[in-house]
Chain A
């Protein structure tokens, strides 16, 4: 027979599971013998029962019986014999009381077995006997606590077991001595009821005896879980192994990656935890403060009452929270008050009695209004100031601006060297950027600055609308702004600031500002990088660009990532006091910026970024060049990790 014929025949005989087959009754088809069917069309079907079991006597008996039934034979129902299951003699209702009431809706339930079974330990008959003896003894001893209940007994044993499991997790393997009672007593916690504790010492002796008897193994029958030993695999009692998660191919790189991820995760969780902790601390303090406020208020009302009763006049300033207020002002509406960001000023005590306040007393409303007015005025002034500042400029910035030129010192605090005493810094103001803005002892350029460096008054809450988007916050922070003019022309001005960097590290930035406004070429600088710096400056002098200065300023930080560099990279450059608004000056700066960018792209990294770069001047050449290129205006920043 040829292949083709075979195929032909095969094709005719195929059965498609997709094809509709006629459903017919038996009389509609010609009779075929069962053997014929079995041979030709109906091969044996796979049962799915394991081969060895398929041939088992009883199964075969049932299968042939049902096969017989399928062809019309009369067969008695045959069952596969199974071992006996019979009604138990236990009193079922005693063990399982009638307490189930079916809810109208489908049951939803998520408690676990552990949640539902109370104390894990269940006492044995041996325990029971022992407990009887104990209680009999106590009875005789006329002990005041009364007998020990089975519940209390189990509670104590459960506690011992749990403690032993925690303290000696491998007791079954390395067989340490049973934990002494003192140690158990130290571990007592909420899980063990005080009433049960009274029996702890007695029960301990029993527990210990039981433990010793079992080779210090747990008293409760346990399943065998994997121990990681080789014997596990062949031991039929070891069950419920962990199903390891899909094994990823392990490489060193992956390991490192995973470690990093975990570290990061941990850190983030720690941060979150710390944050929550701090919030809690804050709220606790706030609560404390409220309590104190309340106390003050109550005592003041006392005083007031006494004063009123006795007709005492005057000394009313004791009755309100005194604030250093420039001048009182007229009332504002409550609505304006409500707008003020909460918590910015101390709240004078309220008057729950609702009576009109005494005229002698400064009105709370007055106070609030005064404050509000002050704030409003400051905001307006700043808006105007900002507008003036921008007059004649096209705002092409695409990001928030860097600090304005003259007043900002970025929170640097100038240190007056030589024989001048260090001034004590004014209270620092905090802003969103975590920059500890500090006023320098220089001449106040914004003398009319209305915002006092008031404690606990976040600057940002003062001027959110006008200033936030376009003006950096440090602009506000550094009030009063330090002067751009050094006080002592001969000496370079040293200034410092602290700021909070990433990872919550505190940085101490040091800035050395050459003082005298001389021409760049003749600038004398105490450090040796002068030469290189000025050379670079000249080299780039001819370059032209229309880049904005502000961008240039920002570029400084892009190429000079000393923050990231961390450990005291000692970078330094020079300050050339110039008229920053002159066209030439701005062009020049932009040129520097371009060159600086080019440089930083060309070089693998600025030489100044070397880790642990020497503090000495000898190292400074390249660094100065780099720094100078990018930001002639911004003085050199020296980083030192403070925390």
Chain B
């Protein structure tokens, strides 16, 4: 999906699209048609086709909608009175994915392939001229204060700052408006853009050495494979593809044990399993407990099966999560609510045992049945609590999902606004805010800028607590008073940062 929109956004001159009218029988994978969605017609791409009960059905992805809204639609919902867009001619280098696709869904394997790879190549050309300048400015100040830096990402930020100051870093003299923040942003932009120029090999190598998020289209199967899942007392529609056993795609319902997260394509074995399963909480040590939730720490290497199950489950709801490599290098922090049935998994985040990029969260998820209840903020707060205990600054692994971004922004805003509103505070500096919150300098800046709090007034930069923001926060606090504030109490965290020796890393112990 991503590459398509990239095109739409910035490709200089997209190849002319071949349009025309189609009939049901000429529709094929890759064709973009107008589909009725919630009372309006939206352009959607056909990703798969099947005949169900003698009727053709189409799996479509709506443009500018998240993939989680992709769905199977009956032919009636497709408006054939409007012109459709035919897919570009086949690219020979795309066979692989087509093959895999048709294998999984033997519908009408039309071998039309999404244009991801080809386009990323053109992206390379487009992006590369800009990149050198940025790397230069990044490279200028390699030295300063590595101790403070939580990781590469954080380092880049402060590096950019210092190089601007010391070396009169004016990469583009003609740009009068050049500001430190621009440099920094450019660096960040380069980082964010970088994934798009990854080749498949680069991507896999990146996944091998670290990380759990993929940006490569080929990594993601485009058609959701499970229909529904039953877990605990909830029934959930999956959002994305997850590599559960192939035969599960034929089942109407997949049953997942709430405690061990084992999965069953049929009810009988699931019931049998429940009669045998003795697990009542995530299989690890409880490291946090308050009246509301508990946190368990699970080592991916010691609890391989459970963590694999967890990853399979969470892949259903995380688009960019990759299960390409095994769970060994991650720790999983699982948040549970408790009752007399056991500890119910509400959400979790994973964290690399050692993150080269200074990430303090790899994947983060609140299970759909618990969403919009404030659990996400608790998870995020907990991840920063761990970073504080480690004495490091942290940031979530990129790319963030849409929901992830909103969750993080909300948390950052609240955290920083609370700090700035502390009585008696007359000034603040960005790094100090970072140190107090375990947030990276970049994320602090991001938040301040996003809230329009960073202004330039009377020849200096100031942080403005705007009326709207204060009001917003007051309203929030009122709500908290009524509902009870859910937060992490660092006193209750019984945790020391785990240490992994060189040999354990080398030998995967």
Set of chain B residues within 8 Å of A30, measured between Cβ atoms = 457-458
- Give Cα A150 to B323, complex, Å: 35
Checking A106, A236, A245 against B100 with a beta-carbon cut-off of 8 angstroms, the contacting residue is A236
Set of chain A residues within 8 Å of B57, measured between Cβ atoms = none
Among A96-104, A172-180, A407-415, A523-531, the one that faces the other chain is A96-104
- Give Cα A70 to B266, complex, Å: 49
Contact B286 A106 (CB under 8 A): yes
Set of chain B residues within 8 Å of A239, measured between Cβ atoms = 243, 312, 323-324
Contact B220 A236 (CB under 8 A): yes
Contact B343 A100 (CB under 8 A): yes
Among A46-54, A302-310, A366-374, A426-434, the one that faces the other chain is A46-54
Set of chain A residues within 8 Å of B248, measured between Cβ atoms = 221
B105 to chain A, nearest CB (A): 11
- Interfacial residues of chain A within 90-126, with CB under 8 A of chain B in the complex: 90, 92-93, 95-102, 106-114, 116-119, 122-125
Residue of A34, A48, A110 with most chain B CB atoms under a 10 A cut-off: A48
Checking B5, B220, B400 against A47 with a beta-carbon cut-off of 8 angstroms, the contacting residue is B400
Let me know if A338 is at the binding interface, CB within 8 A. Answer: no
Contact B5 A238 (CB under 8 A): no
Contact B274 A96 (CB under 8 A): yes
Set of chain A residues within 8 Å of B449, measured between Cβ atoms = 42-43, 45
Let me know if A11 is at the binding interface, CB within 8 A. Answer: yes
Among A77-85, A196-204, A317-325, A499-507, the one that faces the other chain is A77-85
Residue of B158, B398, B450, B471 with most chain A CB atoms under a 10 A cut-off: B450
Contact A49 B401 (CB under 8 A): yes
Given contacts A43-B179, A48-B399, A106-B494, contact A70 B468 (CB under 8 A): yes
Among A15-23, A282-290, A565-573, the one that faces the other chain is A15-23
| Residue of A whose beta carbon sits closest to that of B446 | A45
Contact B245 A52 (CB under 8 A): no
Set of chain A residues within 8 Å of B491, measured between Cβ atoms = none
Checking B296, B409, B426 against A66 with a beta-carbon cut-off of 8 angstroms, the contacting residue is B409
- Interfacial residues of chain B within 425-456, with CB under 8 A of chain A in the complex: 425-432, 434, 441, 444-446, 449-452, 454-456
Set of chain A residues within 8 Å of B311, measured between Cβ atoms = 240
Residue of B181, B398, B408 with most chain A CB atoms under a 10 A cut-off: B181
B445 to chain A, nearest CB (A): 7
Residues of A in contact with B, size category: 35 or more
Set of chain A residues within 8 Å of B215, measured between Cβ atoms = 50
| Residue of B whose beta carbon sits closest to that of A222 | B245
Given contacts A99-B280, A113-B305, A241-B325, contact A40 B181 (CB under 8 A): no
Does more than half of chain A's interface fall in helix, strand or loop, or is it mixed? Answer: loop
Residue of A11, A90, A99, A244 with most chain B CB atoms under a 10 A cut-off: A90
Given contacts A52-B2, A55-B9, A125-B268, contact A245 B508 (CB under 8 A): yes
Contact B179 A45 (CB under 8 A): no
- Give Cα A108 to B194, complex, Å: 42
Checking B66, B279, B465 against A25 with a beta-carbon cut-off of 8 angstroms, the contacting residue is B465
A585 to chain B, nearest CB (A): 57
Contact A237 B176 (CB under 8 A): no
Contact B308 A223 (CB under 8 A): yes
Checking A96, A124, A245 against B232 with a beta-carbon cut-off of 8 angstroms, the contacting residue is A96
Contact B272 A17 (CB under 8 A): no
Checking A44, A88, A235, A240 against B308 with a beta-carbon cut-off of 8 angstroms, the contacting residue is A240
Among B23-31, B84-92, B161-169, B376-384, the one that faces the other chain is B161-169
Let me know if A491 is at the binding interface, CB within 8 A. Answer: no
A136 to chain B, nearest CB (A): 19
Given contacts A109-B283, A112-B283, contact A234 B218 (CB under 8 A): yes
Contact A52 B264 (CB under 8 A): no
Let me know if B83 is at the binding interface, CB within 8 A. Answer: no
Contact B239 A82 (CB under 8 A): yes
Set of chain B residues within 8 Å of A40, measured between Cβ atoms = 177, 456
Given contacts A29-B457, A50-B215, contact A116 B283 (CB under 8 A): yes
Checking A22, A237, A245 against B460 with a beta-carbon cut-off of 8 angstroms, the contacting residue is A22
Let me know if B238 is at the binding interface, CB within 8 A. Answer: yes
Contact B185 A223 (CB under 8 A): no
Set of chain B residues within 8 Å of A113, measured between Cβ atoms = 260-262, 279, 283, 303, 305-306, 309
Contact B342 A96 (CB under 8 A): yes
Let me know if A9 is at the binding interface, CB within 8 A. Answer: yes
A228 to chain B, nearest CB (A): 15
Contact A123 B303 (CB under 8 A): no
Let me know if B278 is at the binding interface, CB within 8 A. Answer: yes
Let me know if B80 is at the binding interface, CB within 8 A. Answer: no
- Give Cα A66 to B185, complex, Å: 21
Set of chain A residues within 8 Å of B245, measured between Cβ atoms = 221-224
B20 to chain A, nearest CB (A): 26
- Give Cα A7 to B172, complex, Å: 11
Checking A14, A18, A43, A86 against B431 with a beta-carbon cut-off of 8 angstroms, the contacting residue is A18
Let me know if A436 is at the binding interface, CB within 8 A. Answer: no
B145 to chain A, nearest CB (A): 10
Set of chain B residues within 8 Å of A388, measured between Cβ atoms = none
Let me know if B234 is at the binding interface, CB within 8 A. Answer: yes
Contact A106 B343 (CB under 8 A): no
Set of chain A residues within 8 Å of B261, measured between Cβ atoms = 113
Contact B302 A110 (CB under 8 A): yes
Let me know if A57 is at the binding interface, CB within 8 A. Answer: yes
Set of chain B residues within 8 Å of A99, measured between Cβ atoms = 280, 340-342
Let me know if B237 is at the binding interface, CB within 8 A. Answer: yes
Set of chain A residues within 8 Å of B265, measured between Cβ atoms = 221
- Give Cα A528 to B341, complex, Å: 95
Set of chain B residues within 8 Å of A18, measured between Cβ atoms = 161, 429-431
Let me know if A37 is at the binding interface, CB within 8 A. Answer: yes
Checking B1, B457, B506 against A245 with a beta-carbon cut-off of 8 angstroms, the contacting residue is B506
Let me know if B208 is at the binding interface, CB within 8 A. Answer: yes
Let me know if B104 is at the binding interface, CB within 8 A. Answer: yes
Checking B103, B306, B396, B471 against A48 with a beta-carbon cut-off of 8 angstroms, the contacting residue is B396
Let me know if B326 is at the binding interface, CB within 8 A. Answer: yes
Let me know if A139 is at the binding interface, CB within 8 A. Answer: no
Among B46-54, B128-136, B365-373, B480-488, the one that faces the other chain is B365-373
- Give Cα A113 to B471, complex, Å: 49
Contact B468 A72 (CB under 8 A): yes
Contact B234 A87 (CB under 8 A): yes
Contact B164 A39 (CB under 8 A): no
Set of chain A residues within 8 Å of B151, measured between Cβ atoms = none
Checking B104, B237, B328, B400 against A49 with a beta-carbon cut-off of 8 angstroms, the contacting residue is B400
- Give Cα A154 to B276, complex, Å: 11
Set of chain A residues within 8 Å of B464, measured between Cβ atoms = 24-26, 28-29
Residue of A7, A70, A81, A238 with most chain B CB atoms under a 10 A cut-off: A70
Given contacts A72-B471, A240-B326, contact A17 B100 (CB under 8 A): no
Let me know if B125 is at the binding interface, CB within 8 A. Answer: no
Set of chain A residues within 8 Å of B328, measured between Cβ atoms = 243
A167 to chain B, nearest CB (A): 23
Contact A116 B455 (CB under 8 A): no
Contact B403 A70 (CB under 8 A): no
Contact A22 B243 (CB under 8 A): no
- Give Cα A507 to B313, complex, Å: 65
| Residue of B whose beta carbon sits closest to that of A47 | B405
| Residue of A whose beta carbon sits closest to that of B192 | A46
A295 to chain B, nearest CB (A): 49
* A-B contacts, 24 listed (Cβ < 8 Å): A18-B430, A21-B462, A23-B465, A24-B464, A29-B457, A29-B462, A37-B455, A42-B455, A45-B449, A46-B191, A49-B399, A58-B402, A66-B406, A71-B468, A85-B368, A88-B230, A106-B285, A108-B286, A116-B260, A118-B277, A221-B248, A221-B264, A241-B326, A243-B325
Top 6 A-B pairs ranked by shortest CB distance? A52-B2, A122-B269, A236-B221, A72-B468, A118-B276, A83-B237
Q: 6 extra interchain contacts, Cβ-Cβ under 8 A, other than A45-B446, A242-B325?
A: A17-B157, A17-B444, A17-B445, A49-B401, A96-B258, A117-B273
Report A's interface with B, CB cutoff 8 A.
1, 3, 6-7, 9-26, 28-30, 32, 34, 37, 39-53, 55-59, 62-63, 66, 69-73, 79-90, 92-93, 95-102, 106-114, 116-119, 122-125, 127-128, 150, 154, 221-224, 231, 233-246
